[in-house]
């Protein structure tokens, strides 16, 4: 630990990223040690997992699966964001209809949605449409809920200002509602990315013929643990990178649009 | 002063219908009788203040005249025509300056013009002029969070001016400011109103402010508010704070205070 | 009452108490009823095969039949409930404990916080195959996964609770020379309780979702598995009954929790 400098800076000791990194290193070390001690076929070392991941990534069929998942994910996420936010903003302006509709959507959201997936399969068959629309539903419901609440929270003073200027609903949306809810929108976009991804993976795990979830399950039936672990790491990275980017986006939006109380 | 404003003032001087003519206005919120019935007339270019105890319905009346509330009963005419929505030429100044925190001062001032569809170059030019007029020159690219309360209200005033209003409705616009800022802003408002020549409906808790600014002060009684007194203020314009110590001014203030005190006392006793 | 056309822009008009004579809550019922009737009629119309959709009334009757079926109640319903309680209990204890450690130690806080923040961005269910390989297809993967899934939300909320104790209160504790455990019991826990309870409510909701979802995919035990098995056996009636049952179960559990929580929250005056 460095000794305190002459100036009274609050920073003492290591910078912010050191403790999490140390924790991660400890976990990986524990994994390696216990795996080596167990010396079991079902408990591979981290290095073995990474090696099999590398070989998987060299396999064109596996890469196709990854691209497949990525493609469906992007489409369903974009649709969930767009539709959820617009619908949410439109409903949020009406306190009466929000009160009428929200309980139903909250109820729908609290059910483990994967259990409803067979209905999608029955009506949409096995393929992109069923897993894509399921992923869409997994993301659109939370986005909708967050945006309704955010819109309902738009300052009443700003609404009265808009009214006094004779602004139309469309003008109100564009010039006042959207800037007001932008911070919540950015946070919701980050949140719903993870939820859409989980929805897609679960759907693929349940019944798919391609995609990352399907690959995971295939390796499960073949008991190829290193591949499973390697793919889990890959999924983690695929989830983490956009999430961190969206976090940065959210931070920027908050700085620009969040009202600073005087 | 632009030639447009000059022309309008001359036109206004020849028209004799009052800018606001409200008859029998009454408001209820569910079972609560909140206001009236009241009659209100404001002549063109006249500055009218309403003072009264808290909760008596002053703001409600202002909102009704501004088409932000539908009265249960009564008719309101502005500029000779019945109200059918918020008017282009009625500017409302709220107590908490309704400045948009994500826009710069300049874009806030230009907001009313933007909503009206005025082109970008023109509205920014106009906004720049008004920013100078209210004394915020140099702050065009600042954000409201960086300004004091008084400066933010000046932004609101500049925006109101951009609408070239013939009627300004001000709901305790200086209520959130400290005493010194209030005094400065009052003088500011006097200047602005003298320039534009618009009618003003001004709500305030401060009797001093009302007497300083107005041609007429209406005293509203406790809820449900009705007008219990009307005091004409005959001080010469242009006015300054010094005018408040004149005997006429002091007499008016005392008369108004006596009314309000008795109304407020009755209100307090009945609430217990 | 005389109705005049409003001059006020619609978005600032006062919220009506009724529309077409019905208050908002009634409209909620209307919406739900309309949806149920629509599905019922569509299913009975013959436009859709019985292998794809059955009428709602049949779903409901079969659900009730299931409740009377001993196998179902013991093997599926009770099993799921036990697993949910187990994972919830584990995540509650571990969650509050970790949050307390984070509140006590700056180092632990800085080490763990970033992971707590990104945790729910990661698809934890991807770990399910790993757990199955290591621990078999019994109840262990389900409980582990569900605990893991719900512990982090408990940590987030409990941490907020512990950290929001007003400074003046901790000063008071120090001035009274309380021991650490006294501080915890008499000051920290009561102050943090509303947030901890909010976290526990979410934790239980998450545990329910995680247990049912994992049972569904794993398909060897519990409520979730009933739906999976019925689907794979083309038993549409049981499948829909199972879905209806699971949904109702999740809903009721959340409602009951919400109500229980409101009685303990001292901030709701």
User: Sorting pLDDT into bands at 50, 70 and 90, what band is B97?
Assistant: confident
Helix (H) or strand (E) holding B200: strand B199-203
Structural domain that includes position C25 = 21-53
- Whether C9 is covered by a domain: the verdict is no
Which is it for strands B199-203 and B216-220: parallel, antiparallel or unpaired? Answer: unpaired
User: Sorting pLDDT into bands at 50, 70 and 90, what band is B179?
Assistant: confident
* Beta bridge mates, B38: B25
Cβ–Cβ pairs < 8 A, chains A and B: 48
Question: Is the predicted pLDDT of residue B5 greater than 50, yes or no?
Answer: yes
Distance from CA of residue C57 to its chain's centroid? 27
Question: Is the predicted pLDDT of residue B25 greater than 90, yes or no?
Answer: yes
Helix axes C128-135, C189-218, angle to 10 degrees: 80
Which A residues in the span 64-103 are in contact with C, Cβ-Cβ below 8 Å? Answer: 93, 95-97, 99-101, 103
- Interface test mutation site (partner C, options B30, B59, B67, B82, max chain C beta carbons within 10 A): B67
Give the Cα-Cα-Cα angle B42, B47, B52 (nearest 5 degrees).
Answer: 85
Cβ–Cβ pairs < 8 A, chains A and C: 158
Could you give the CA distance from residue B67 to residue C119 in angstroms, rounded to a whole number? Answer: 50
C-alpha separations of A93 from A77, A172, B58, B68 in Å: 24, 10, 27, 16
Do C165 and C235 sit in the same domain of this protein? yes
Do C27 and C129 sit in the same domain of this protein? no
- Interface test mutation site (partner C, options A24, A118, A154, A156, max chain C beta carbons within 10 A): A118
Residue with tokens 């994994």: A31
Contact C53, C243 (CB under 8 A): no
Do C255 and C197 sit in the same domain of this protein? yes
Do C48 and C68 sit in the same domain of this protein? no
Tokens in use for A59?
């396999």
Q: When comparing pLDDT for A41 and B259, which is higher?
A: B259
Helix (H) or strand (E) holding A130: helix A128-152
Q: What is the pLDDT of residues C195-239, one digit of tens each?
A: 888 888 889 989 999 999 888 887 777 888 888 889 989 899 989
Q: When comparing pLDDT for B109 and B9, which is higher?
A: B109
Nearest to A176 by CA among B144, B102, B68, B85: B102
Do C86 and C209 sit in the same domain of this protein? yes
- What value does the mean pLDDT take over residues C163-188? 76
| The B20-29 sheet, strands edge to edge | B32-42, B20-29, B73-78, B81-82
- Whether C8 is covered by a domain: the verdict is no
Could you give the CA distance from residue B234 to residue C110 in angstroms, rounded to a whole number? Answer: 70
Q: CB–CB of A259 and B101 under 8 A?
A: yes
Nearest to C112 by CA among C122, C102, C120, C103: C102
- Whether C131 is covered by a domain: the verdict is yes
A35 in C contact zone (CB under 8 Å):
no
Question: Is the predicted pLDDT of residue B173 greater than 70, yes or no?
Answer: yes
Do C46 and C154 sit in the same domain of this protein? no
For residue B48, the SS3 value is strand
- What value does the mean pLDDT take over residues C70-95? 90
Q: So what's the pLDDT on residue C146?
A: 94
Do C125 and C148 sit in the same domain of this protein? yes
Number of domains in chain C: 2
- Whether C260 is covered by a domain: the verdict is yes
Which A residues in the span 187-226 are in contact with B, Cβ-Cβ below 8 Å? Answer: none
- Whether A49 is covered by a domain: the verdict is no
A111 in C contact zone (CB under 8 Å):
yes
Do C65 and C44 sit in the same domain of this protein? no
Q: So what's the pLDDT on residue B195?
A: 87
Do C35 and C139 sit in the same domain of this protein? no
Tokens in use for C2?
């005389």
Do C120 and C243 sit in the same domain of this protein? yes
On the CB side of B38, CA atoms within 13 Å amount to: 31
Could you give the CA distance from residue A92 to residue B157 in angstroms, rounded to a whole number? Answer: 30
Number of domains in chain A: 1
Could you give the CA distance from residue B4 to residue B135 in angstroms, rounded to a whole number? Answer: 22
Instruction: State the Cα torsion B241-B246-B248-B249 to the nearest 10°.
Output: 30
Helix axes C128-135, A225-257, angle to 10 degrees: 150
- What value does the mean pLDDT take over residues B196-205? 93
CATH 3.40.50.2300 fits B46-67+96-271, yes or no: no
- Whether A214 is covered by a domain: the verdict is yes
Q: CB–CB of B70 and C6 under 8 A?
A: yes
ipTM of the complex: 0.88
Domain parsing of chain B, residue ranges: 46-67+96-271
Contact C88, C142 (CB under 8 A): no
Share of chain B above pLDDT 70, in %: 94
Q: So what's the pLDDT on residue C178?
A: 73
Give the Cα-Cα-Cα angle C92, A233, A64 (nearest 5 degrees).
Answer: 130
On the CB side of A178, CA atoms within 13 Å amount to: 9
Structural domain that includes position A79 = 58-257
- Whether A53 is covered by a domain: the verdict is no
Nearest to A203 by CA among A123, A125, A135: A135
Per-10-residue mean pLDDT, chain A, length 262: 43 72 87 79 79 84 89 96 95 92 91 91 89 95 94 92 94 94 92 92 85 84 81 88 91 78 38
């Amino acid at each position: 630990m460095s000794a305190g400098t002459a100036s009274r800076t609050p920073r003492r000791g290591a910078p912010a990223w050191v403790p999490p990194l140390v924790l991660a290193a400890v976990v990986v070390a524990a994994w390696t040690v216990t795996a080596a001690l167990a010396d079991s076929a079902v408990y591979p070392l981290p290095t073995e997992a990474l090696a099999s991941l590398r070989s998987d990534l060299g396999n064109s069929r596996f890469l196709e699966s990854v691209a497949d998942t990525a493609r469906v994910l992007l489409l369903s996420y974009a649709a969930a964001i767009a539709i959820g936010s617009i619908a949410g903003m439109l409903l949020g302006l009406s306190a009466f209809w929000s009160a009428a509709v929200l309980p139903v959507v909250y109820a729908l959201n609290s059910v483990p949605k994967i259990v409803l997936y067979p209905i999608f399969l029955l009506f949409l068959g096995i393929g992109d449409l069923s897993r894509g629309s399921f992923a869409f539903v997994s993301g659109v419901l939370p986005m909708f809920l967050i945006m309704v609440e955010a819109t309902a929270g738009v300052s009443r003073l700003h609404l009265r200002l808009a009214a006094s200027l004779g602004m139309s609903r469309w003008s109100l949306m564009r010039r006042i509602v959207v800037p007001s809810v932008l911070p919540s929108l950015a946070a919701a976009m980050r949140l719903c990315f993870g939820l859409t991804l989980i929805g897609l993976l679960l759907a693929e795990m349940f019944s798919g013929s391609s995609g990352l979830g399907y690959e995971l399950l295939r390796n499960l039936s073949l008991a190829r643990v290193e591949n499973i672990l390697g793919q889990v790491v890959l999924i983690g990275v695929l989830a983490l990178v956009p999430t961190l980017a969206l976090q940065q986006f959210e931070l920027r939006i908050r700085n620009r649009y969040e009202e600073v109380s005087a | 002063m632009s030639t447009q404003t000059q022309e309008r003032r001359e036109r206004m001087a020849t028209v004799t219908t009052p800018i606001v003519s409200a008859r029998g206005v009454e408001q209820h919120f569910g079972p609560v009788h909140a206001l009236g019935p009241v009659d209100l007339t404001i002549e063109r270019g006249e500055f009218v203040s309403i003072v009264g105890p808290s909760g008596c319905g002053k703001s409600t009346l202002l909102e009704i005249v501004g088409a932000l509330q539908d009265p249960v009963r009564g008719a309101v005419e502005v500029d000779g025509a019945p109200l059918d929505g918020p008017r282009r030429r009625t500017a409302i100044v709220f107590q908490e300056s309704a400045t948009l925190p994500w826009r710069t001062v300049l874009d806030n001032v230009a907001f009313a013009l933007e909503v009206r569809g005025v082109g970008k170059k023109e509205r920014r030019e106009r906004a720049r002029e008004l920013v100078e007029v209210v004394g915020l020159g140099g702050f065009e690219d600042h954000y409201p969070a960086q300004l004091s309360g008084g400066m933010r209200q000046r932004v609101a005033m500049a925006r109101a001016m951009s609408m070239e209003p013939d009627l300004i409705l001000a709901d305790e616009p200086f209520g959130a400011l400290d005493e010194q800022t209030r005094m400065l802003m009052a003088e500011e408002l006097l200047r602005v109103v003298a320039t534009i020549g618009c009618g003003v409906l001004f709500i305030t808790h401060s009797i001093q402010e009302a007497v300083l600014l107005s041609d007429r002060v209406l005293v509203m009684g406790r809820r449900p508010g009705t007008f219990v007194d009307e005091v004409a203020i005959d001080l010469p314009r242009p006015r300054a704070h010094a005018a408040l110590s004149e005997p006429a001014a002091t007499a008016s203030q005392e008369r108004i205070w006596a009314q309000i005190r008795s109304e407020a006392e009755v209100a307090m006793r009945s609430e217990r | 009452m005389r109705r005049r056309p409003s001059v006020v822009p619609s978005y600032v008009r006062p919220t009506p108490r009724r529309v077409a004579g019905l208050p908002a809550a009634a409209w909620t019922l209307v919406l739900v009823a309309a949806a149920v009737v629509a599905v019922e009629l569509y299913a009975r119309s013959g436009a859709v095969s019985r292998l794809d959709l059955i009428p709602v009334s049949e779903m409901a009757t079969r659900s009730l039949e299931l409740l009377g079926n001993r196998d179902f109640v013991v093997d599926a319903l009770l099993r799921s409930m036990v697993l949910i309680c187990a994972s919830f209990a584990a995540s509650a204890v571990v969650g509050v404990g970790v949050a307390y450690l984070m509140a006590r130690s700056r180092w632990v806080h800085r080490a763990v916080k970033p992971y707590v923040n990104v945790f729910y961005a990661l698809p934890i269910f991807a770990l399910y195959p790993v757990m199955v390989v290591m621990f078999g297809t019994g109840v262990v993967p389900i409980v582990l996964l569900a605990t893991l899934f719900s512990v982090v939300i408990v940590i987030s909320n409990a941490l907020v609770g512990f950290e929001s104790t007003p400074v003046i209160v901790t000063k008071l504790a120090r001035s009274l020379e309380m021991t650490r455990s006294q501080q915890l019991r008499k000051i920290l826990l009561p102050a943090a309780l509303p947030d901890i309870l909010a976290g526990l409510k979410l934790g239980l909701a998450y545990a329910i979702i995680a247990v049912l979802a994992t049972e569904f995919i794993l398909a060897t035990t519990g409520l979730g598995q009933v739906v999976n098995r019925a689907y794979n056996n083309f038993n549409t009636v049981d499948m829909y009954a199972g879905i209806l049952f699971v949904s109702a179960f999740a809903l009721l559990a959340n409602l009951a929790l919400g109500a229980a929580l409101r009685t303990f929250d001292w901030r709701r005056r």
